[in-house]
Chains A and B, each alone.
Chain A
Amino acid sequence: MSEKQHTHMGCQPEPGSVTAVHGIWKVQLLLIAATVFMICSGCASASLKLPLDFNAVVRRQPASIALGSIQDSVSCDDEAFYLQRYLEKKDVFYDCVLADQDNPHAYHGADILLSGRIEPRVGWSQGLGWGHFATFITMGGYYFLVGPTRKQEARIDYNFDVYFTDTGKTNSFHFYDLRKAYFGFYGPRINMDRKPELYEAGWDQLLYEICREMQNRRAGKQ
Chain B
Amino acid sequence: MKAFCCTKILMGVMLFSAAGCSTPPQAHRDAMFIRQQYPRIRAQAVGDLAVLGQFSKNGRIGSIVDTGRNVYDTKYYDLAGEARSIIPLAYYDMARVALKTGRYTDAIRGAQNAIRAGSDFYGGDEWTLLRLLGLLGNHKLLYESYLFCGDLEQASMHHKQYLLLSELMQAKAFKKVMENSFCIQMTSIRLRSEYEVKRAEATMAQIMAILAAAGAAAGGAQNNNNNNNNNRAAQIARNAQIAQMAVLTVAMLEEYKQAIKVQHNIDLSELMQRAADLNRLSAPAAEDIRRAKMASSLYLQASIRDPASALDQADLSDLKKQASKSRNLVKITTDENGRIHVSGDLAKLVELAEKIDEVPMRLPPPPAKRPDDYLDKYLTPGLYRMAGIRMTYEEKAFFDRLAASGGQEFVIDPAQAEAQVALNGLNKMIQKSKAFESWITAL
Contacts and interface: CB of A to CB of B under 8 A. Distances in A.
Interface of A: 59-62, 64, 66, 74-78, 80-82, 84-85, 91, 94-95, 97-102, 106-109, 195-196, 214-215, 218-219, 221-222
A98 B423 contact: no
A85 B427 CA distance: 21
Nearest to B98: A98
Given A76-B113, A98-B106, A218-B336, A60 B427 contact: no
A97 B335 contact: no
Given A60-B414, A109-B427, A218-B336, 11 more contacts: A59-B415, A66-B105, A74-B53, A76-B113, A78-B49, A84-B106, A95-B420, A97-B103, A99-B109, A107-B151, A214-B338
Contacts of B117: 76
A137 to B, nearest CB: 40
A185 B53 CA distance: 26
A63 to B, nearest CB: 9
A91 B151 contact: no
A80 B49 CA distance: 11
Given A94-B414, A95-B424, A59 B338 contact: yes
B424 A60 contact: no
A219 B335 CA distance: 8
Interface residues of B, number: 37
B423 A100 contact: no
6 contacts: A60-B414, A66-B105, A94-B414, A98-B106, A101-B109, A195-B53
A60 B105 contact: no
Given A94-B424, A107-B151, A62 B113 contact: no
B260 interface: no
A62 B334 contact: yes
Given A76-B117, A219-B336, A94 B419 contact: yes
A94 B395 CA distance: 13
B162 interface: no
Contacts of A75: 57
B94 interface: yes
B338 A61 contact: yes
A81 B49 contact: yes
Nearest to B112: A101
B105 A82 contact: no
B162 to A, nearest CB: 18
A64 B420 CA distance: 10
B128 to A, nearest CB: 22
Contact of A100 (B57, B109, B336, B340): B109
Contacts of A64: 427
A55 to B, nearest CB: 11
Contacts of B87: 76
Contacts of B412: 62
Contact of A78 (B52, B103, B338): B52
A212 to B, nearest CB: 12
A163 to B, nearest CB: 15
Contacts of B46: 81-82, 85
Contacts of B420: 60, 91, 94-95
Contacts of A91: 420
B174 interface: no
Contacts of B106: 84, 97-98
A108 B414 contact: no
B108 interface: yes
B109 A80 contact: yes
A98 B105 CA distance: 6
A109 B109 CA distance: 16
Contact of B415 (A60, A80, A195): A60
B431 interface: yes
B149 interface: yes
Nearest to A81: B46
Across the A-B interface, give the 7 residue pairs with the lowest CB-CB distance, nearest first. Answer: A60-B414, A98-B109, A94-B423, A78-B49, A107-B149, A94-B420, A108-B105
A76 B105 contact: no
Contacts of A66: 105
Nearest to B430: A109
Interface in B356-405: none
B50 interface: yes
Nearest to A196: B50
Nearest to B423: A94
B336 A81 contact: no
A59 B414 contact: yes
A195 B50 contact: yes
A41 to B, nearest CB: 29
Nearest to B43: A85
B436 interface: no
B338 A218 contact: yes
B340 to A, nearest CB: 5
Nearest to A97: B105
B104 interface: yes
Contacts of B105: 66, 97-100, 107-108
B95 to A, nearest CB: 10
Nearest to A78: B49
B424 A81 contact: no
A141 B200 CA distance: 45
Nearest to B103: A97
Contact of A222 (B52, B336, B414): B336
A97 B110 CA distance: 11
Given A99-B105, A100-B108, A62 B49 contact: no
A100 B150 CA distance: 14
A222 B419 CA distance: 22
A31 B156 CA distance: 72
